[in-house]
Amino acid sequence: MLPEFRNEPLTDFSQPENRAAIEAALETVKGELGREYPIVIGGERITGLKTFESINPSHKSQFLGRFQKGQPSHVEQAVEAALKAFETWKRAPIEQRAGLLLKAAELLRQRKHEFSAVMIYEVGKTWVEADADTAEAIDFLEFYAREAYRYAGEQPITKIESEDNDLVYLPLGVGAVIPPWNFPLAIMAGMTTAAVVAGNTVVLKPASDSPWIAYRFFALLEEAGMPAGVVNFVSGGGAEVGDPLVTHPKTRFIAFTGSKEVGLHINEVAAKTPKGQLWIKRVIAEMGGKDAIIVDKETKNLDDAAAAVVASAFGFQGQKCSACSRLIVDAAIYDEFVPMVVAKTKALRIGSAESGDAQIGPVVNEGSMKRIREYIEKGKTEGRLVAGGEVRSDEGFFVEPTVIADVDPDATIAQEEIFGPVLAVMKAKDFDDALRIANGTQYGLTGAVFSDNPEKLRRAEEEFFVGNLYINRKCTGALVGVHPFGGFNMSGTNSKAGGRDYLLFFLQGKAIARKVKPEPRSVEQAQAF
């Protein structure tokens, strides 16, 4: 019997021994820079293809590693390898499948600072953000291992005397896992291992901005005892690898996290049934948000609310689907509260992610930096710039945390997902108006409400249409098992990652009914009858 699930503790970097540990890990990982990494299909390492590079967004001239550009032919090979492995893996006992995750969790726990260091280099996560990402990955492994035991056990169904009945859950088959770069360890590991522990096999296409951390995790699974072909690692572009994976007639499901545009494309393409496909593909999609925090006039501790807004808006440079990109403030406290947010924003320290003192690192790449800058310029015409607004691109891809006040709820920066450190501030006439503004987008992922009025909070719980609602706290930082994560509308399929429903996306139910023969009567019973 496994002990009850507990979330992995975060690292306190104010402690000298913890600072020394992450600094040592950064040096260790730095020694690996410049290597070339293969595609891995059925356990076979494949190199010699055209390659692309992973670079450090804090230091754009620093080359991290070289990765193969997979082609449709590699997708074909990988799906076939996964199909072959599925025939054995689907019959593997739950102790083996869940044991793989638990072993991987323990290995990851032992090397957590090294995995965090890779993310610090590769996607510009600060120490705190990288540590939280690694902890969440450990949580997913531990939580899904326990969930797999639950689904493999006896399921509660209604019993009748004339039959012996069971409900069993079976794996689907081969799946495509297409993770994002912003939680390049946690989400990638969670989607991959949820599929695997349920008995499926996987072709993993890492995000092009974060292939290094994905390969490192793949190698960890191998070390933990994963059989060849259960997970196949195929790096490359969306057109060459992603689309062929989605359209392949032998893939049963696609687990995707990323932009709305790509998610909708995957959903549309996957809905088609090419010749030879015998099933309707499942799409598990988490596609982003335009998340709002409401600050009501009946909020006693405005300083705490302001701190939560800044943390939600600018943690990991606003590059979270859960980030607060809209702040909705009651008109009665608007002139008091907005300057508090501005002051806390201007106090944030910007710097290289490797620096333990940095609170704000770079955005992920040059294209993202340019796109965010365009939104800021647009925002200057749609509101009043009160903090930030500048881009620092000499060394890396840095965008100052930016606050734009007096924004109309229908403005571009209030409606479109920017995925960067830009906060649009809006004034609400009252709480009704605040809820109207909050619900006035195509998304519905996360949201938060600050108020000390119980009736308003009750209304928010009922009327604020998001998958993850937080009361008097920030709208980021979902914990596995505590806050099952996934949203409504254009935020995706409400997958509830890290929740007790999630493995069902990777399973199919089979009801088995066995006719029970009546007990034979004794001679005495027959004579009595």
Task: Copy the structure tokens of residue 229.
Answer: 């072909």
Expressed in percent and rounded to 5, the helix, strand and coil fractions of the chain are 40, 20, 40
- Find the helix or strand (DSSP H, E) in which 131 lies: helix 127-152
Residue type for position 361: G
Distances (CA, A) of 228 to 41, 71, 245, 463: 8, 20, 19, 48
Are the beta carbons of 385 and 402 closer than 8 angstroms?
yes
Phi, psi (5° rounding) for residue 475? -100, 10
From the candidates 8, 122, 240, 321, which is the catalytic residue? Answer: 321
Q: Is 321 a catalytic residue?
A: yes
Residues whose CB falls within 8 Å of the CB of residue 277, separated by 6 or more in sequence, listed in order? 249, 250
- Could you give the CA distance from residue 227 to residue 89 in angstroms, rounded to a whole number? 8
Closest CA to 468 of 457, 458, 459, 477: 477
Q: Which residues of 65-102 are buried (b: 16+ CB within 10 A; e: fewer)?
A: bbbbbbbbebbebbbbbbeebbeebbebebeebbbbbb
Tokens of 439: 């619900």
Pick the catalytic residue from 122, 147, 240, 286.
Answer: 286
Between the alpha carbon of residue 117 and those of residues 4, 125, 185, 223, the distances in Å are 29, 9, 12, 20
Is 261 in the active site? Answer: no
Cα separation, 347 vs 220, in Å, equals 39
Catalytic residues: 286, 321
